Structure 1
């Protein structure tokens, strides 16, 4: 179950960005392993917060308990303006890149991305059940696409076929190991949801730790194998230069029909990830809207369709606006990562720090306690701060470029800053 939650569409795109950022294959594989360990530390930290301070509000509730209502309200603002909507746009660009590979002379990838956002949002506005029903099928498609990548890699290595060449005009644009880990943690992005689910379904601390270790350990092993397959068959330079490595690998191994099939599977996988993000984001916004007066309109729930329609609508419109901005950049995916990463890691660091404060203010709260405290939460907090620094450094690096979309990181920070006076002036 944890494997199905954590695996997302990012694994079909992020290996290219990681390859562009490193100088040796072993660095990439080591960073993917390190990312899995960091995700495990984060999941164990969140599991304590979720069991000792349970609430549907998640991070909003933890931040409110630890740091007060204003910071919690600022988190909700950031989630609407930057984090959740940026995540939706990021995954939409993965779908757009692979869809564009299916129809090279068709619409720009950003148009496919916008269509995906609109379709998923409208489906969920019709009924949350319509959005939920396809999730199990989507996960099966994701795993099938990853299996196809491994089979294709083994086939190419067995036949000794030459490595495919990167698409014409593609150029890698990496900036170092810190940025590589920012992208890697994006691919592990479902670890916090895995922590919530495990905390709800495991009766004992031993069972909870075992479920998280085995689940995230399995995902880490799979991700390392997938990256080893890409590096062994495409080579680091070719991998770094293509936004759709799975398509390139399958075409080299089995021809254009296989490439089209895996591209279709990745588009479906992207819709799966986007659908889950849309559902969880809208529900969290609705819950926060009932507690934060400034956001009260988002707390409306359509009883007839059993959906938070205002939250879904606002979330979809903001995600579409971000997609339009990303379309101006040479690579919409990396622009959206630069846009959301600084704000995302800031609040993740504050959530990690909340564990230490809540241990002092609520010492008798029952529930799971992180093993090896304070080592594991300190490791997670250190990772969050390192990722915050790397994402800020990347935003600074982008400003030195003359390309469109270079202000993506600054835009995300500016939107967060815009929420500060709104939240502090509100009751």
Structure 2
């Protein structure tokens, strides 16, 4: 289907003389798809082990959503100011220096998206094996990654259609699960009203540590910033899609955890990884685990699709700016950065075959938090040093909301450094190696690339 035809169907739009652009609805679906993975279906068991309180658990997830929204407000302002694809690569180059942006782009282009793709694909294989035990997980994982990559290679309109349909299906299945859970006649005696003991839970170390893992479940709220250049009217649509997508996920996460708690006894959930399957067995009976596994499988399809869409856009944009990477900037007639997609597919495939994706994820967590931290810090810097820049959207609640995000992100980095010093150190080395690559390539913006801000050279 041509992009102009897809636009008439509401999937995408084409501006005269421009590249194909996606609608705000598709951009919102991308945010939802990238955020909702397996984290929300597996985290609760470890949280209720130390926080056996319905109110405190829901407050934990709500607070995580609020912190994510604080990040959304900052990224929304930056994305509206600098409407170009690639997320942190673009923002850090503008706010600080192109070398800083290259450092963030290096992590994203190499393993920052390929490793989560491989992990989600393997999780898909494991859950699919519960539904179809005669098929090994690895072939299922590889097949899904290659299938989704093929869709991405077909062009932006096909990517948009696939993303929207798969995300809607994911949300519909989750809502169906929620309705079944809330209509369950035999509810557990859990209260979601505050009690005196909740103050102690909220002020405890387990609450703070649990927040770290809740924030990982909320990661992906910035997904649309990686395809800003493909979004229709990004100055208006980008902040709207980030905010709407994050709010949808916030409601879904709180509701899911409420259903888990009212469906299954806390002592059955405590310390367990497959909390969704346990809750599903109480809601749907003997086949509840398989029903939940199928629901998660469908959800992972849209998550992998989102990451296979947004990850190559970082490599593509770097190719537009760095002559040595120009190959990755080449697009097909339908707008797909073919070589960038194939590169991410190759890295994800290698990670799947070597089963090294979990180790890579451990290594890059600190680097990803580091880049997000300095991106929001860059917003504050630009407010001070460049108040004259046009800001089509201004961060809601500034400066409180950026500071809240910075404080929580700093705590998460501190936790990783103290609890996983080796992994954090290796992640820092991976990130810093980007500076070496930058020194070799040097920054030579290609014709048409966005200029640096004065003083950033």
Q: Given the two structures, how large is their TM-score scaled by the length of structure 1?
A: 0.80
Alignment partner of 1:391 is 2:425: no
Pick aligned residue for 1:422 from 437, 441, 445: 437
The separation in 1 between residues aligned to 2:212 and 2:111, in whole angstroms, is 16
Where in structure 2 are there 5+ consecutive unaligned residues?
Answer: 1-24, 190-204, 443-457
Equivalent residues in 2 for 1:139-178, closer than 5 Å = 139-156=167-184, 158-159=185-186, 176-178=206-208
Equivalent residues in 2 for 1:28-427, closer than 5 Å = 28-104=57-133, 106-108=135-137, 110-156=138-184, 158-159=185-186, 176-193=206-223, 200=234, 202=236, 216-236=246-266, 238-239=268-269, 242-255=272-285, 259-303=289-333, 306-325=335-354, 327=355, 337-367=361-391, 368-396=393-421, 412-427=427-442
The superposition leaves residues 235-261 of structure 1 with CA deviations (integer Å, 9 ceiling, x where unpaired) of 445445555443443343224556444
SS across alignment from 2:396: coil
SS across alignment from 1:290: helix
Match of 2:18 in 1: none
Give the conservation status (yes or no) of the 8 Å contact 2:263–2:279: yes
The separation in 2 between residues aligned to 1:280 and 1:241, in whole angstroms, is 34
Where in structure 1 are there 5+ consecutive unaligned residues?
Answer: 163-174, 400-406
1:199 Cα offset (Å): 7.9
1:137 Cα offset (Å): 1.9
CA RMSD in angstroms comes to 3.3
The separation in 2 between residues aligned to 1:228 and 1:199, in whole angstroms, is 37
Match of 1:16 in 2: 42
Give the conservation status (yes or no) of the 8 Å contact 2:105–2:318: yes
Question: Aligned residues, how many?
Answer: 394
1:355 Cα offset (Å): 0.7
1:291 Cα offset (Å): 0.3
1:371 Cα offset (Å): 3.5
1:292 Cα offset (Å): 2.1
Give the conservation status (yes or no) of the 8 Å contact 1:3–1:219: no
The separation in 2 between residues aligned to 1:324 and 1:260, in whole angstroms, is 26
The superposition leaves residues 69-93 of structure 1 with CA deviations (integer Å, 9 ceiling, x where unpaired) of 1111111111022322223223223
Q: 1:215 to 1:13 in 2, by over 3 A?
A: closer
Give the conservation status (yes or no) of the 8 Å contact 2:38–2:296: yes
The superposition leaves residues 39-74 of structure 1 with CA deviations (integer Å, 9 ceiling, x where unpaired) of 111111111111223323432222112221111111
Q: 1:228 to 1:73 in 2, by over 3 A?
A: same
The superposition leaves residues 280-334 of structure 1 with CA deviations (integer Å, 9 ceiling, x where unpaired) of 111231121110234333222233x542121111111212233345x46xxx76x
1:342 Cα offset (Å): 1.0
Q: 1:134 to 1:271 in 2, by over 3 A?
A: same
